[in-house]
Amino acid sequence: MKKVGVATRWGLHTSTAGGLGEMLRRAEQMGETAAQIFVKSNRRWEMPSLDGEEAKEFRKGKKEQDLWVCSHAGYLINVAGSDETRQKSIRALAEEVRRAEELGLEAVVVHCGSRGEKEPSEARRRAVEGFQEALQRSGTQRVKLALENSAGQGSALARDVAEWGELVQSIPDQRRAACLDTAHAFAAGFDLRTEEGRSRLRVEVLREIGQENLVVIHANDSKTECGSGVDRHEHLGAGKIGTDGLRLFLRDPSWAGIPRIGELPPGEREDRENLAFLRASCSTT
């Protein structure tokens, strides 16, 4: 993936309330050049069917607006979980991937799963096979599966960058992708307030994930302390990472051209401020 000379895109997780057309209008109004959506309710298994006409309109509108869009898979999905959860997760993820492809999205961001009582290696094997099965079942060709790093909350996989990398590298070439969340990395022990912490994260991500696989950055501040292992997002600059740490991390030339998305509590003023923060953090000069 060539990043040189590519403008860096930025936006927020954007609501689809009122339909996908409404979402596009919202994105345009806010001036977003990238956005993330849910293609179904994020806290339920059920999926009301996707209207083919609405999907077509969305693809067209997204192109006209030159908007980069990814989806975030449902929070219940755990491909490393117990047999029943895992089967449900594979089915649900396959359908989400199919929808994302129908909508012309760039990637589906998904959590790597939680190991519960299982040995880490066994949990990773289940996750890897689960992701591959979901991709196969989806019958899709193009949309990428972007595995996200975790804060390590509970027994979540991919707190450790090497473990996250092992999972990412197991995804077939054409579909392989990763999503780096700054709040998760901070909660996982990377102190983004210091040059040492930022550079350690950069070195590990470039080595284990590879710049070409990193397709989106979740730019979130953190309510919780560095190393807490607890995932709580905070408005940009208002959390424990703070303005300087986040800005310096996002301005790193290694991440130039990679879209950044804030996943933050919505609000008219907050959205405006978070977007201004992201826009100002794109420059590498």
Residues acting as catalytic residues = 43, 72, 75, 111, 148, 181, 184, 218, 231, 233, 263
C-alpha–C-alpha distance, residues 198 and 190, integer Å: 7
- How many amino acids of this chain bind Zn ion (CB under 5 A)? 3
Q: How near is the Cβ of 184 to Zn ion at its closest, in Å?
A: 6
**Which residues touch 159 (CB under 8 Å, ≥6 apart)?**
149, 150, 151, 152, 184, 188, 229
Question: Which residues, in sequence order, are CB contacts of 224 under 8 Å at separation 6+?
Answer: 151, 187, 230, 231, 232, 240
Q: Which stretch binds Zn ion (CB under 5 A): 1-9, 45-53, 91-99, 176-184?
A: 176-184
Measured from the CB atom, the residue of 181 and 191 that comes closer to Zn ion is 181
Min. distance of Cβ 99 from Zn ion in angstroms?
19
The candidate with the shortest Cα–Cα distance to 103, out of 35, 172, 194, is: 35
Structure tokens at 134: 């979901």
Nearest residue to Zn ion, scored by beta-carbon proximity:
218
Scanning residues 210 to 229, which ones bind Zn ion (CB under 5 A)? 218
**How do 233-234 and 221-222 pair as beta strands?**
antiparallel
Provide, rounded to whole angstroms, the least separation between the CB of residue 270 and Zn ion. Answer: 17
- Cβ atoms of residues 153 and 229 within 8 Å: yes
Phi, psi of 71 (to 5 degrees): -115, 160
Q: At closest approach, how far in Å is the CB of 149 from Zn ion?
A: 9
- Residue closer to Zn ion (CB basis): 218 or 235: 218
Cβ proximity to Zn ion: between 72 and 175 the closer is: 72
How far is Cα 122 from Cα 126, in angstroms, rounded to an integer? Answer: 6
- Of residues 36 through 75, those in contact with Zn ion by CB under 5 A are none
The 97-136 site mask, x for binding Zn ion (CB under 5 A), equals ----------------------------------------
Q: Does 181 bind Zn ion (CB under 5 A)?
A: yes
Residue 13 binds to Zn ion (criterion: CB under 5 A): no
Gap between the Cα atoms of 170 and 176, Å rounded = 8
Q: Which two tokens stand for residue 131?
A: 């992701």
Considering the complex, state which of residue 166 and residue 231 has its C-beta at the smaller distance from Zn ion.
231
Cα four-point dihedral sign 79, 173, 13, 203: positive
Name residue, tokens 């703070």: 242
- Which residues, other chains included, contact 259 with Cβ-Cβ below 8 Å and sequence gap of 6+? 8, 9, 10, 11, 33, 34, 68, 70, 215, 216, 217
Task: Scan residues 226-245 and list those touching Zn ion (CB under 5 A).
Answer: 231
Provide, rounded to whole angstroms, the least separation between the CB of residue 264 and Zn ion: 10
Query: Stretches 26-34, 51-59, 122-130, 175-183: which one binds Zn ion (CB under 5 A)?
Result: 175-183
The smaller minimum CB distance to Zn ion, of residues 61 and 237, is found at: 237
Pick the stretch among 6-14, 97-105, 126-134, 174-182 that binds Zn ion (CB under 5 A).
174-182
Nearer to Zn ion, 24 or 261 (CB): 261
Q: How far is residue 6's CA from residue 275's CA, in Å, rounded to a whole number?
A: 19
Give the interface with Zn ion as residue ranges (CB under 5 A): 181, 218, 231
